[in-house]
Structure 1
């Protein structure tokens, strides 16, 4: 814990798929370092637009590796600060037990009316879902059934609320400590889509903030990695 007067606050833009683990990590971070992380959750594509237009974020925890690299190349982020903090996993999920089988054959049967996916233009998990459906040869047949969420949090909510019977969500939203928290799910094989590498980067507004660098170091540590494992991420 830092001595009085040394603690700082850092404004963090967090991809919505990483909500639950980051809430845990932020609490541990404040307790262990004295620094405070103020979290905002949303779609990576929306954060990119906001940061490009001067939004006061100091660190970005992206849902992909392309956006932080782009921000760095365009001069909005600190060169050399970027690293992969997590690798996400895509899951086909329904809140109804037994609805989704362990092989994902429910997609071929198509005995559902609505399939929720995140906007593939702004949400990397949505892009991964499109890739997986393309690899499975199901995209053309199913795209007329899509209910599209702005981000993965809204996509998850569409399924919970019944606006879609099933949807492609982040594993972290429906698994905890290796166990499915409810319903039924198929963990989409990683070979069906590009790796969901989630990169973190210090933004220009966080360049001189000691809490920004401290958070980046903390994300590489054992407590953060324990949270990643608990919510089904790899690293």
Structure 2
């Protein structure tokens, strides 16, 4: 009798698992490189909480725009700015009303070594370094913010010969991490977690020196009929995602 009951319960549990898997979906997401670490953490929680899975690609916003315009199979786009999603929206490449700001980013000057970067960024004016790494300003909003900062400081011409460009903000960070550049103007989220800098020395660039880095997300046309796409966007607006986003130094 007990054996029959146990077998029946196992059958019911198996049926429920099959039903859950059948209703779970996958969403293809294009994610701005600066948001790599927080997105990985959010995706993990999202998958546990909803059963949906996330297939994420990370790169430069400008490159993603070109790929989306050429038919790339992305269903949700997390940009590093607000102008690119607005452009996609205007071109009819997104689901109407789905665009929202998921984070506001911050630019920092960073060195992996302690004591190199002071709290006012004076090391830039001293010029006692060979290379300064930034992201490509034509493809990456953080790269544009870096050039705006150098303009504000009046150092664009002085440091022109020392600048090395990464294709995106991840590569810009790698140049510094590997020693190919002593300094980098990168995203705070790349060197910050849980209220502190993860390594080295940093200057948080005053936000008045560059245009606000409002990072918008939207559902693309290819995700219009995918419940997993809508679920992810709603999850990004929720408390769990907000906690993770703040932990990486973004504001909401």
Instruction: Sort the TM-score into its range (normalised by shorter chain).
Output: over 0.9
Q: CA-to-partner distance for each residue in 1:68-121, whole Å, 9 max, x for gaps?
A: 111111121112100000000001000111000011010111100100000000
Matching of residue 94 in structure 1 with residue 111 in structure 2? yes
Aligned equivalents of 2:158, 2:151: Cα separation in 1: 10
Indicate the residue corresponding to 2:251 in structure 1. Answer: 234
Indicate the residue corresponding to 2:37 in structure 1. Answer: 20
Indicate the residue corresponding to 2:53 in structure 1. Answer: 36
Gaps of 5+ in 1: none
1:48-127 counterparts in 2 under 5 A? 48-127=65-144
Matching of residue 191 in structure 1 with residue 191 in structure 2? no
User: What is the number of equivalent residue pairs in this alignment?
Assistant: 235
RMSD: 1.1
Gaps of 5+ in 2: 1-16
Q: CA-to-partner distance for each residue in 1:173-219, whole Å, 9 max, x for gaps?
A: 10111111111000001111111000001001000000111111100
Aligned equivalents of 2:156, 2:124: Cα separation in 1: 10
Indicate the residue corresponding to 1:151 in structure 2. Answer: 168
Aligned residue for 1:139, secondary structure, equals: coil
Structure possessing the higher radius of gyration over alpha carbons: 2
Indicate the residue corresponding to 2:186 in structure 1. Answer: 169
Q: CA-to-partner distance for each residue in 1:121-178, whole Å, 9 max, x for gaps?
A: 0000000011111111111111211000000000000001111100011101101111
Aligned equivalents of 1:4, 1:180: Cα separation in 2: 40
